[in-house]
Chain A
Amino acid sequence: MQANIRHQVSPYLVFFIIYNSQVGVGILGFQRIIAAKAGYDAWIGVLLAGCLVQAFIWIAYKLLGKADGDIIDVHINLFGNFLGKFLSFFIIIYYWLASISVLLGFIEIVQVWMFPTIPSWILSIPLLLLMYYCVSGGFRTIVGMSFLSFVFPQILLIYLYIFPLKIAHFANLLPIMNHSFMEIMDSIKSSMYTLAGTEALLMYYPFIRDPKASKKFAHLGVLFTTLLYTVSSIVSFTFYSENQLKTTIWPELSLTKIIKLSFLERFEYLYISMYLIIVTSLLGLLFWCSSRGLKKIFCRKQKYTLLILCILSVVLSQFITETFKEMLDKMVTQMNLYIFYGYIPLLLLVFTFLKRGNQNG
């Protein structure tokens, strides 16, 4: 079930794919959401959520390693052609909804911060043209984008934390652990949306040249993003007062307003524009996953499935309202939680049990 070796990528690149699949628009605004209940202790929740994702990576590698293919192969292997494809369809729909959620999130940010009057479709059409061009370049192009988006601008953006840290109040974080267990649990749940994305592994696993060797890079990737999110939340917590944080929708973006150089201020314009690179690489990965999934399920060329997805996304991005967007985000979070942290572990159990039975029989 492995993909053609010419389309495969080196194991170390999994680090960048994992990093890229997790970092999207979520990081710009998740600080407010996780702090809603757990307050300044929420960063502990982020770390714990990171541990959960690590566990998911372990499970996914176990499952896919046993089946030696992607999630659709696992499903077909286990439940037969029809039921297997039917179940996979839900996962593919999840990928697509996640990409729509990222796309809409980014368009919303651009509309709020840069061009208040621009209609959504004017932004979504060039973005989706870019998506089509990128995905039609194959998986190696997608991975290349992930890698390049890490080199520029991600490393630069991490460096920018120096500016708010200069005036940080670390006393804000103290006392540590003054919130109840349930409140911390709540912050774990709400950071899952931002940390989501690793589930794309279920689709690109056959494209890794040496999956066993890549495992440690996947774990490192998750570690990197978990630390990135933790640092990002700590920077926000030490910068804003608790009440201010509650009313700031995109704390990370508002932070960049304080950056002042002799030739540049109001950095957020540049920040959002540069974020385009990160967002488009993530969208590329998600669109690749969903169009490839549909290709395998319906046995159509990826060209057509991708085209249909792109057109549907443009239409959706135009007719969507604020309430629908919130509903979509909630739905993606719920689906992510139930499918990948409830269903997939179960699937691993069933798969291990059934396959062992088969071997004995």
Chain B
Amino acid sequence: MKIKNGDKENSSASKHCWIERLSKSNDFVHEHTSLRENEPFWLSYYRTLISSDILHKDVLPFLQDRLSLEELKSKIPVQEIILSNDAEEIIQSIMNGSIAIQIHQLDEDCLLINIANSKFRDVSMPMLESSALGPQVGFIEELDTNINLIRKRLPVPELLVHEMKVGALSKTRVAVIYMDGIADPENVNTVIQRINDIQYDHIQDSSYISSMIEDNSNSLFPQSISTERTDRVAAGLTEGKIIIAVDGSPNLVILPVTLMESFIAMEDYSYSWIIGNFFRLLRLLSVFISGMVTPMYVAIMTYHYELIPARLLETLVGSRATVPFPPFLEALFLELMIEMVKEAGIRLPFKIGQSLGVVGGIVIGQAVVEAGLTSNVLLILVGLGTLASYTSPIYKFSNTIRFLKFPTIFLAQWFGLFGVFLTFQFIQVHLLRLTSLGRPYISQYPIRTTSFQDLWVRLPFSMQKENPKNLRPQKKRKSTGTGKNPEPMNDFYE
């Protein structure tokens, strides 16, 4: 805020000061186009922001003759040209890659030609949410390309984009995208209002925005989904969800969401609905297992070994006969170790990542068991639990699940199975209290019929008739009807 005020004072005090302000930087260029004193144009731009190619090909040729700024504006074949005399706007525009053209150095009027040099990586496959089937297009770091990708999927005028600038220093472009006539206007207003209220110096990623506007920012659970898949975003928009896209971030934020949506992979729709359902429920089960299996091991091995039938108990006890630690420490060590391997795997330089990954995963794991520091069974369980947590297509959510294991292990050590279910109940209450944009986060309560069309299970497309009710969509029904032949299939149906 302080800096912003300072800017305004400066600009109002002396309007021509902007050249002086910008010239402090070495990559700022302020020069004549001609050596003859009477007919020069003054050019000002940041060498590092503009494309010199366009400057030489499309702009400079027109500056040979003495023309007024208006004439220039109509002649130069560049799309974004503004005539302005507002110092603040000129600075902003130059900072975004425009060149400013003046007739005299002290003129207030400026012609601003945007020839920004934007270099971004090409549209590529989604890095985190990969899938075997379905479209393989992921968002990239440039906002306009991202919006273009969405518009290609939904070429209707109802798709609206509301753009804002957030961040006192970063001036990041943030776009709120929604379908007019489907999305609840109340939700849209809430999102826009909350983004407008953000006061922060810099916004580097969409996660900044999503964690700032979330209903409960102390929660471990992500109350919005951040995705890099174009199909997920487009599907969400048609149901009445709201998308937040941030310039410089390949992850778009979907709001409002329910817990269950973290288990939906877009691949589910590529399979037959029965197989799709099988995998969706499998994901639910594996996340449950991932959170419960190590705490259960600690609880049962510490307090309730009677639960295990004698023959199975033999295997369990036999495998940890040489382990000198109590089950709690054993489990905690192993869980922490796996987390370390995972964390290092992300940070490891790409070239040595693979070879060290093998060392971390296999060599250490094998050695730990052989050295008798942990049991085989626990190694299997922990490995399985960690793998299972990644079945959720939403990366943030799988992190939450693995984090929640630790308090559960502590309570399991303290209270046994009682402690495991105590944490379960704490999490359940927490989820019941959570909201996403004021809508209940947990999707099993209150029960909605729409949750059984495409949330818990995915019915065939012809039976997904309504948009999710918890979003309060303006358009309640989907337009369904598959192009099947109404003729009887065989003699039986005649």
Asked if B426 is an interface residue, CB under 8 A from chain A, the answer is: yes
Pick from A130, A148, A263, A277: contact of B445, CB below 8 A. A148
Partner among B415, B421, B429 whose Cβ is within 8 Å of the Cβ of A137: B429
Residue from the list B306, B418, B429, B442 in contact with A273, Cβ < 8 A: B418
Instruction: Return the contact of B426 from the options A9, A133, A143, A148 (Cβ within 8 A).
Output: A133
Interchain CB contact under 8 A, A266 and B304: yes
* Set of chain A residues within 8 Å of B447, measured between Cβ atoms: 147
The minimal Cβ–Cβ distance linking A212 to chain B, given in whole angstroms, is: 19
B417→A269 contact, CB < 8 A? yes
* B311 nearest CB neighbor, chain A only: A262
Which chain A positions have C-beta within 8 A of B444? 147-148, 151
**Chain B, interface SS category:** helix
Identify the closest chain A residue to B309 (Cβ).
A265
CA distance A144 to B304 in the complex (A): 31
- B418 contacts which chain A residues (CB < 8 A)? 110, 114-115, 123, 272-273, 276
Question: Are B306 and A269 in contact (CB-based, < 8 A)?
Answer: yes
- The answer to whether B432 touches A265, judged by C-beta atoms less than 8 angstroms apart, is no
Whole-angstrom distance between the alpha carbons of A218 and B3 in the complex?
A: 62
Query: Across the two chains, which residue of chain B brings its CB closest to A138?
Result: B433
Do A277 and B421 have beta carbons less than 8 Å apart? Answer: yes
A134 vs B433: C-alpha distance when bound (angstroms): 8
Chain A, interface size category, equals 35 or more
Known: A270-B417, A276-B418, A277-B425. A263 touches B306 (CB 8 A): no
Encode contact with B along A251-277: 1 for CB under 8 Å, 0 otherwise.
000000000111111110110111011
| Interface residue ranges of B398-445 to A (CB < 8 Å) | 415-418, 420-422, 424-426, 428-430, 432-433, 442, 444-445
- A132–chain B nearest beta-carbon distance, Å: 10
- Given the complex, which residues of B lie within 8 Å of A10, measured CB to CB? 446
- Is there a chain A Cβ closer than 8 Å to B312's Cβ? yes
Which of B303, B416, B424 is in CB contact (< 8 Å) with A277? B424
Distance, CA A9 to CA B432, complexed state (A): 14
Which B residues lie within 8 Å of A13 (CB)?
446
Q: Does residue A280 face the partner (Cβ distance < 8 Å to B)?
A: yes
Name the one of B421, B429, B445 contacting A276, with C-beta atoms under 8 angstroms: B421
A208 within 8 A of B: no
- Check B442 against A144 for contact (C-beta < 8 Å): yes
Q: Is B308 an interface residue (CB 8 A)?
A: yes
B457 → A minimal CB distance (Å): 15
A44 at the interface (CB under 8 A from B): no
On chain B, the number of residues with a Cβ less than 8 Å from chain A's Cβ atoms is 27
B489 interfacial contact with A, CB 8 Å: no
Q: Are A266 and B307 in contact (CB under 8 A)?
A: yes
Bound CA–CA A197/B210 (angstroms): 43
Question: Are A264 and B308 interface neighbours, CB within 8 A?
Answer: yes
Taken together as a complex, chains A and B put the C-alpha atoms of A292 and B445 apart, in Å, by: 23
Contact indicator B308/A148 (Cβ below 8 Å): no
Whether A352 is near chain B, meaning CB under 8 Å from some CB there, is no
B433 touches A141 (CB 8 A): yes
Which residues of chain B from 282 to 339 have any CB-CB distance to chain A below 8 Å in the complex?
303-304, 306-309, 312
- Tell me, in angstroms, the Cα distance from A115 to B419 when the chains sit together: 12
A126 within 8 A of B: yes
Fill in one digit per residue for B45-61: 1 if any A CB lies within 8 Å of its CB, else 0: 00000000000000000
**Complex-state Cα separation, A18 to B445, whole angstroms:** 16
Contact with A along B429-469 (1 / 0, CB 8 A): 11011000000001011110000000000000000000000
Closest chain A residue, CB of each to CB of B304: A269
* B428 contacts across to A, CB distance below 8 A: 145, 148, 277
Q: Which of A226-250 contact B (CB under 8 A)?
A: none
Contact B426 A263 (CB under 8 A): no
Alpha-carbon gap, A267 to B306, bound state (A): 9
Closest B residue to A281 using CB positions = B425
With beta carbons under 8 angstroms apart, the residue of B304, B312, B416 that contacts A263 is B312
For window 98-126 of chain A, which residues contact chain B by CB distance below 8 Å? 110, 114-115, 123, 126
The verdict on A263 contacting B417 (CB below 8 Å), with A134-B429, A145-B428, A277-B425 known, is no
* 26 CB-based A-B contacts, threshold 8 Å: A114-B417, A115-B303, A126-B422, A127-B422, A130-B422, A133-B426, A133-B433, A137-B429, A141-B432, A145-B429, A147-B445, A147-B446, A148-B428, A148-B445, A151-B444, A260-B309, A261-B309, A263-B309, A264-B309, A265-B306, A265-B309, A266-B306, A270-B307, A273-B421, A274-B421, A277-B428
Interface residues of B (CB under 8 A from A): 303-304, 306-309, 312, 415-418, 420-422, 424-426, 428-430, 432-433, 442, 444-447
